[in-house]
Structure 1
């Protein structure tokens, strides 16, 4: 088996867990190429020969993973997401076992799910920008929160996000005009997000039924005026993680093509990475089924008819006990 591992050492706490995974994955007769990302790496160049490998492993935080998945979109490459970031929300949404040997075994069986990506487009001073996202992109309070948390993420981990939220008790309320599949909606709130996956920390689903294999995206508007008002949906999420009883103070819409206009320039983030310029208008579209993600038996994306034999030979130490 030929394997390519692309690793961002600056993600999360700099864990070396990916190297433990590599030791589990590679055995006699295999070839493994490790490429470590620098600050100015060209993703197209890093992945230009991805099709020549049996599996590509992407190791990093959600921002790194999303950027690399966007580069691999539509190329039919079997891709394993390895959690090396702070939150690792995409990995949590996929639902694979985090144990290195289990992930290595999954790579050899190569059961894959065809998964969607979101694509966000915006313009600043006449220049257009486009980014892919696997979790969510958003404008307003969530982008301000990401920006405030950034300096403390490496030291505090996920706690940095909660500290950032508490530091701004009265975020700006913005008027949004949102077009979803040609239907217009008007809302006021502190943030507007577009989600490809909607499960966040503590296994809470912001929007019930938001998955990355349905060919749609979910729009979420936080219709509150103070940070304290987020306590209701937070408690709702803790008591009802799947959102079966609904989410108070949240307005949601679902569709494949989305256009968002804000009443004033506001910050924007894409999978936790804050955009340098504020925006007033942006578009989001779903890219249906563009990534082949490795899944194991624990994932709810596991195929209904999984492989009965591994695609690549499984060493005895990785085989399931009889």
Structure 2
């Protein structure tokens, strides 16, 4: 088994879990290449030789992982998402058992599922068109402001930095968003407008129901409130109704489609998988890239199955997973 591990050492809190994973993964006769990313890495260059390996392991935060998966789109090599960031929401949405030894076992078994990615395009302040892929969600307005404000404290406070940033800006500005989804246009007012490939956040709470990474669609999510404190209400509802199907999500409206454009009444910041883009934008477009990449899944994943089957690469210990 030949494995390429692409690791961002600047992600998260600098955990050495990726090396525990490497030790559990490599068996006699295997080859495992560790590629450590520089701060100014180019995802396409990092994945240029991916087809020379049986598998690529992408390790870092959500932004790093999504950029690497986007660079692997449409290619035959499978990818394993390893959580080395702060929130690791993409890994959580895939739903594999997150322990290094469990992920190593899943790689050796080699079961994969095709997942969608999102592709976002916008014009920067010079007028040039920019395009980026995303795995989780991207947004304009309050969401991007939170990401920007949380950045200085993220390394020390982790996920708590986002809550601290929200408390520091209790009355965010309200924007009017013009949203076109598969040719149908609506106008809404709110503090943020998100485009999501999946919508499960911390605590296994789904912002909107039935948002999956294998349906060929993206979800547009508008937070229709003018008070940041009111965001506690949908979070509280999520604690008792994690799927959002029973009692819904107050102050949140969503639309689903494969092709989306969003414009705002004034320039607003833009974030992509937690990374704030320099400058501000007044519009962007997004599309779903269906079945873009094959990712490793195990029996815990909603994209896997209860039976792992035979091991593709051999010598994997048997682990009993709880039945759904």
Q: TM-score, normalised by structure 1?
A: 0.97
- 2:102 match: 102
- 2:242 match: 241
Q: Deviations over 1:175-198 (max 9, x none)?
A: 000000000010000000000010
Using the TM superposition, give the Cα deviation of residue 292 of structure 1 relative to its aligned residue in structure 2, in angstroms. Answer: 0.3
- 2:277 match: 275
Give runs of ≥4 in structure 1 deviating > 4 Å.
Answer: none
Using the TM superposition, give the Cα deviation of residue 18 of structure 1 relative to its aligned residue in structure 2, in angstroms. Answer: 0.4
Q: Deviations over 1:231-271 (max 9, x none)?
A: 21121112211101211111110000000010000000000
Question: Contact 2:119–2:134 at 8 Å: present in 1 too?
Answer: yes
Could you say if the C-alpha distance between residues 262 and 320 of structure 1 is closer, same or farther in structure 2, counting changes exceeding 3 Å?
Answer: closer
Using the TM superposition, give the Cα deviation of residue 308 of structure 1 relative to its aligned residue in structure 2, in angstroms. Answer: 2.9
Q: Write the distance in 2 (CA, Å) between the matches of 1:116 and 1:107.
A: 20
Q: Write the distance in 1 (CA, Å) between the matches of 2:284 and 2:181.
A: 12
1:161-240 pair list within 5 angstroms: 161-240=162-241
Most deviating of 115-124 and 237-246: 237-246
- SS of the equivalent of 1:187 reads strand
- SS of the equivalent of 2:200 reads coil
Using the TM superposition, give the Cα deviation of residue 320 of structure 1 relative to its aligned residue in structure 2, in angstroms. Answer: 4.6
- 2:136 match: 135
Q: Deviations over 1:254-303 (max 9, x none)?
A: 00000001000000000000000100010010000011000000101005
Using the TM superposition, give the Cα deviation of residue 319 of structure 1 relative to its aligned residue in structure 2, in angstroms. Answer: 4.1
Equivalences, count:
318
Q: Write the distance in 2 (CA, Å) between the matches of 1:20 and 1:76.
A: 27
Using the TM superposition, give the Cα deviation of residue 314 of structure 1 relative to its aligned residue in structure 2, in angstroms. Answer: 1.6
- 1:251 match: 253
1:18-57 pair list within 5 angstroms: 18-57=18-57
Q: Could you tell me which runs of 5 or more consecutive residues in structure 2 were left unpaired when the two chains were aligned.
A: none
Question: Contact 1:116–1:290 at 8 Å: present in 2 too?
Answer: yes
- 1:15 match: 15
1:116-135 pair list within 5 angstroms: 116-124=116-124, 125-135=126-136
Q: Could you tell me which runs of 5 or more consecutive residues in structure 1 were left unpaired when the two chains were aligned.
A: none
Q: TM-score, normalised by structure 2?
A: 0.96
Using the TM superposition, give the Cα deviation of residue 42 of structure 1 relative to its aligned residue in structure 2, in angstroms. Answer: 2.1
- SS of the equivalent of 2:206 reads coil
Most deviating of 230-239 and 195-204: 230-239
Q: Deviations over 1:191-233 (max 9, x none)?
A: 0000001000111100101000000000000000111121211
